[in-house]
Structure 1
Amino acid sequence: MHQSLRRTLVVALPFALACAAVLTTYAALRDRLPDPLATHFPASGRANGFSSATSFVWVATGLLAVQGAVFAALVHRSSRSIGPPRLLVAVAYGESGLLGYLFPATLFANADVSDAADVRLPMWQLAVALVCALLAAAAGWLLAGADAPPAAGPAAEPHRLPLGKGEVASWTRTVTSRVLLGVGLALACAGAVLAFTVSPGSGLPMAVMGVIAVLLSGCRVTVDRRGLTVSPPVVRWPRLRVPLGRIEEATSRQVSAYDDFGGWGYRIRTGRSGLVLRSGDALCLRLTTGKEFVVTVDDARTAAALLNTLIDRAVSGAGRPVDAS
């Protein structure tokens, strides 16, 4: 079976099993559950939020089904150009393990209680859920199999983009990390579930981290007369700019996020740094300091050619451009 299809089936399996666990637990305990059901628990463990058993089961299975579909779609679309999907499989298993324990545990906590206000869900249950999540993530990592990183190619020969006298040009592309997007969505959903089932204080930090990860999972890369600018595609901050005056030369090459930089995001290595949102085509700048700055983006060859032309034009017009940052 093709590795991509196998991983898609593998990542959907734990969410299906978690849905089955919720439905089986509900079927076994239905006659022993109060109405309404205790579904929200603060740090004290004493219930302070309630809903009908039917709505709780619908929400639980719906959330698991949606997350399973999202992770399966992300893994299915994964390829060497967007980075290894093995981490996505591990995160998916961890998420399903966490929710696959918490939802049935909530139903068991309500069993044989006449008044839902008396239901308790102690904090050690959350600790057990986190252990289940870690064990499930480890199983997903092993079942996914090793990633085959893309072969890192040599840097292309520097070339120029022909521009007539007086002509101006700019180049821009957006790039998204499906790994960071998937992790961010998983954290946001898990935080929302914890805030709903346990307490706002336990889930809010995780949800905020997830939202931040989603917002920073993509960027817009722009090349123009000012140099290179990298910024989020929706908001204008944080923004990173490398002026023409700091660039000696621009090239493009294939990079592996994990093998070359040890992961995704803003990375720093000896003699080089960069914004690495996925594996694949990358714009590589040799700076005046002798260091290298890398940003992964499609059509990096055109961006490099335009940068070299702009540098040549600035040097021939008025000497090396001044750092205007």
Structure 2
Amino acid sequence: MRPVRRRALIVVLPFVLAWAVVVATFAGLRDRLPDPLATHFGADGKADGFTGTGAFLSVVTAVLIGSGLLTLVPTLRLTKGLAAQRFAVALGYGMSGLLGYAFASLLFANADANADATRASRVSLPLWQLGIALAVAAVMGTLGVLLASRDAASAAGSGKRAAAPRLPLAKGEVATWTRSVGSPVLLAVGAGTALPGAVLVAVGSATGALLIVAGLVSTALARCRVTVDHRGLAVASWFAPRPRMRIPLDRIERATSREAAALSLGGWGYRVRGGGSALVFRSGDALFLTLATGREFAVTVDDAATAAALLNTLIERDRPAAGERG
């Protein structure tokens, strides 16, 4: 497993597990829960705030998955490995344990509430539950420190730029280069977004439909085919030739290749950054195009050096020389 993927897995795993535990607890207690649920308690342990059952899962998903992403992004953007970020990782693990236990304990406290109109108001949550939640957070924080200490990965920086050679291509000879490239990160994000959406739709929450759409879009972009030929560069999704991105040959000034980290290009997916844009599927080999506008476009794909060499050859062969332009 690549270092960046391993670091991402270490950071987000506790939040995903906490979310799964809460959802499983909700599903197991669904027939025993009142609606609305008692979700806030005063110092005396008595309920003083309430949330509908459908909204409860929406809040759980937003808080846990959102907290995981907020923890992941700054952690991966730092150039140091997780071993140098033990405190941040421990804090994230502790937070996931605290939130996961708090949400699950709320559900158990609401289970089998009285069946009359005031059933949710009679739910109570003893203060000692907070002590257990803090203990769970401490255990999870310790686990985070141990996992971070075992991580020796450091963020992969941009590799040394390499000038692409030309391919020996005779005048009139036709050549096409094409490769498929997939993104486990985009696939995981798509599945991880669509799955909670499906759960929320099943319990009647409208928020789930938006999550499903976002997940399907991410999944559709998780695998694409990159093609270089006499027309230029084209990138199309795996399931259909259109929609696709095309950069004509006459818009490309020069092509190069080099190793690049996904985060150095702005993250996964289609990224717009200062001076250019990029289609990022994973860290590794990447094709970089200098465009006629002065901007740069990059796409991460295997065997990018061959693609760059073919593009440079086609640019020199098919584009009229300066003295031949009318």
Shared topology, TM-score over 0.5? yes
The secondary structure found in structure 2 opposite 1:167 is coil
The secondary structure found in structure 1 opposite 2:156 is coil
- From 223, 228, 240, give the equivalent of 1:223: 228
Q: Which 5+ residue runs of structure 2 have no aligned equivalent?
A: 38-49, 55-80, 84-88, 122-132
The secondary structure found in structure 1 opposite 2:272 is strand
Q: 1:292 to 1:14 in 2, by over 3 A?
A: closer
Q: Which residue of 1 aligns with 2:280?
A: 276
- From 197, 201, 207, give the equivalent of 1:195: 201
Q: Number of residues paired by the alignment?
A: 261
Query: Aligned equivalents of 1:226 and 1:168: distance in 2?
Result: 11
The secondary structure found in structure 2 opposite 1:223 is strand
Alignment of 1:80-159 (within 5 A): 108-112=109-113, 148-159=154-165
Q: CA shift at 1:226, angstroms?
A: 0.6
CA-based RMSD: 5.0
Contact 2:223 2:238 in 1 (8 A): yes
Q: Which residue of 1 aligns with 2:258?
A: 253
Contact 2:82 2:152 in 1 (8 A): no
Q: CA shift at 1:188, angstroms?
A: 0.8
Alignment of 1:165-184 (within 5 A): 165-184=171-190
- From 189, 209, 213, give the equivalent of 2:218: 213
Alignment of 1:307-322 (within 5 A): 307-315=311-319
Share of identical aligned residues, percent? 43
Is 1:288 aligned with 2:292? Answer: yes
Q: 1:17 to 1:189 in 2, by over 3 A?
A: closer
Q: Which residue of 2 aligns with 1:45?
A: 52
1:291 corresponds to which letter in structure 2? Answer: R
Q: 1:177 to 1:158 in 2, by over 3 A?
A: same
Kindly provide the CA deviation profile for residues 77-96 of structure 1, in whole angstroms up to 9, marking residues without a partner as x. xxxxxxx999xx99x98999
Q: Which residue of 1 aligns with 2:245?
A: 240
2:52 corresponds to which letter in structure 1? Answer: G
Q: CA shift at 1:110, angstroms?
A: 3.9
Q: CA shift at 1:264, angstroms?
A: 1.9
1:241 corresponds to which letter in structure 2? Answer: R
Q: 1:271 to 1:221 in 2, by over 3 A?
A: same
Q: 1:106 to 1:196 in 2, by over 3 A?
A: farther
Kindly provide the CA deviation profile for residues 159-192 of structure 1, in whole angstroms up to 9, marking residues without a partner as x. 1112234431111112222222212211111111
Kindly provide the CA deviation profile for residues 127-179 of structure 1, in whole angstroms up to 9, marking residues without a partner as x. xxxxx9xx9xx979886569622242222123111223443111111222222
Q: Which 5+ residue runs of structure 1 have no aligned equivalent?
A: 48-83, 122-131
